């Protein structure tokens, strides 16, 4: 991974942002439980990708649950440590729905003290879900999750988050269309050697589950995280260097129930795990 501990790597590099294509959200499969802080069903999503200089974005529309909640636009952007003096980071431009969507936003950063409410280009309001959490291995660094519920949107929708100058930060955004509120959110940290199983969330109606994996490995080597239980990776950054590694996955569920996700990481490491149910 990265983290703010790698401050000695104060060589400035160029801005990089990435996005991974949204695949098909497969059949639901129940997993094992986990520890918490804060159903069964299946859906599919088709995706189209746009990429070019600077941030890239992907968009998709569910075909599995009709008018129910489903993943739509999503994207990820990041700064390596020391590469920019910018006071904020922007998501890739996203083509969101005009109304009736919720945006789930997660950030991982070297300086956890800079967590603040994100803003967007359509003037919607955001709220913190739960509280920010420091990594056990990197106590000044950590993650947070926010949501924009029942937003107004459209083409070129950009989400922005404050950041410390020259800090490393990763920003991930997922639009859940046909959903106007967050029903449940859970966080847990699993240290290396433990199964990387999220805390469970409970749904009461058709919902979309959004999962964030924030690994705690150091700066060396490529990182890969793979979810189970029918979750499909939407976006990720696992490159070597002083940056905050992140994998984002989601699935649609049609029925009420309790859900979790277990990740398999290469190389083996611990992780902060967020799971958000949106309906």
Would you state the pLDDT for residue 185? 98
Q: Which range, of 9-18, 97-106, 156-165, averages the lowest pLDDT?
A: 9-18
Chain centroid to Cα 278, Å, comes to 13
Strand, coil or helix: 219? coil
* Predicted local confidence at residue 177, as pLDDT: 98
DSSP conformation letters of 29-81: ----------------EEEEEE--SS--EEEEEE-SSTTS-EEEEEEEEEE-T
What is the model's pLDDT at position 87? 96
Per-residue pLDDT tens over the stretch 97-126: 999 999 999 999 999 999 999 999 999 999
pLDDT: which is higher, 119 or 22? 119
pTM of the predicted model as reported, rounded to 2 decimal places: 0.81
The SS3 call for residue 180 is coil
d(CA 183, CA 196): 23
Q: How confident is the model at residue 45 (pLDDT cuts 50, 70, 90)?
A: very low
- CB atoms near residue 228 (< 10 Å): 15
Model confidence band, residue 22 (pLDDT cutoffs 50, 70, 90): very low
Q: What is the pLDDT of residue 8?
A: 37
* Alpha-carbon gap, residue 137 to 1, rounded angstroms: 12
- Edge to edge, what strands does the sheet with 119-120 contain? 88-90, 159-162, 119-120
- Grade residue 27 by pLDDT with cuts at 50, 70 and 90: very low
How wide is the angle at C-alpha 62 spanned by C-alphas 247 and 266, nearest 5°? 20
- Is the pLDDT at 37 greater than 80? The verdict is no
pLDDT of residue 66: 53
DSSP 74-120: EEEEEE-TTS---SEEEPPPB---SSSEEEEEEEEES-GGG----EE
Residue 50 confidence (pLDDT) above 80? no
Q: Is 127 helix (H, G, I), strand (E, B) or coil?
A: strand
Gap between the Cα atoms of 21 and 94, Å rounded:
14
pLDDT over 60 (residue 238) = yes
State mean pLDDT over 42-48: 32
> Residue ranges of the domains in the chain?
4-278
The single residue listed with the structure tokens 């199964």 is 195
What's the mean per-residue pLDDT of the chain? Answer: 83
Least confident span in 14-28, 108-122, 203-217, 244-258:
14-28
Q: Are 70 and 208 a contacting pair, CB within 8 Å?
A: yes
- Which 3 state secondary structure label does DSSP give 212? strand
* Residues facing residue 49 across a β-bridge: 58
Euclidean distance between CA atoms 22 and 58, whole angstroms: 7
């Amino acid at each position: 991974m990265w983290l703010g501990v790698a401050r000695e790597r104060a060589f400035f590099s160029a801005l990089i942002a990435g996005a991974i294509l949204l695949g098909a959200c497969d059949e639901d499969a129940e997993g094992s439980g986990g520890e918490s802080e804060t159903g069964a069903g299946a859906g599919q999503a088709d995706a189209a990708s746009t990429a070019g200089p600077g941030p890239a974005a992907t968009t998709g529309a569910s075909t599995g649950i009709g008018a129910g909640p489903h993943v739509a636009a999503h994207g990820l952007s990041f700064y390596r440590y020391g590469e920019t003096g910018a006071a904020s980071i922007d998501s890739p431009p996203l083509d969101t729905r005009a109304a009736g969507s919720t945006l789930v936003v997660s950030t991982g950063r070297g300086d956890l003290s800079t967590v603040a409410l994100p803003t967007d280009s359509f003037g919607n309001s955001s709220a913190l879900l739960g509280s920010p959490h420091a990594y056990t291995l990197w106590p000044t660094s950590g993650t947070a999750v926010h949501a924009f519920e029942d937003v107004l949107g459209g083409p070129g929708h950009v989400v922005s988050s404050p950041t410390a100058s020259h800090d490393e930060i990763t920003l991930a955004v997922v639009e859940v269309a046909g959903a106007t509120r967050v029903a449940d959110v859970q966080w847990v940290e699993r240290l290396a050697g433990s199964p990387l199983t999220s805390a469970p969330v409970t749904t009461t109606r058709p919902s979309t589950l959004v999962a964030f994996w924030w690994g705690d490995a150091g700066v060396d080597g490529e990182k890969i995280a793979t979810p189970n239980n029918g979750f499909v990776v939407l976006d990720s950054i696992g490159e070597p260097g002083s940056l905050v590694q992140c994998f984002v996955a989601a699935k649609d569920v049609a029925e009420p129930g309790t859900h979790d996700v277990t990740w398999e990481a290469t190389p083996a490491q611990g992780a902060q795990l967020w799971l958000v149910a949106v309906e």
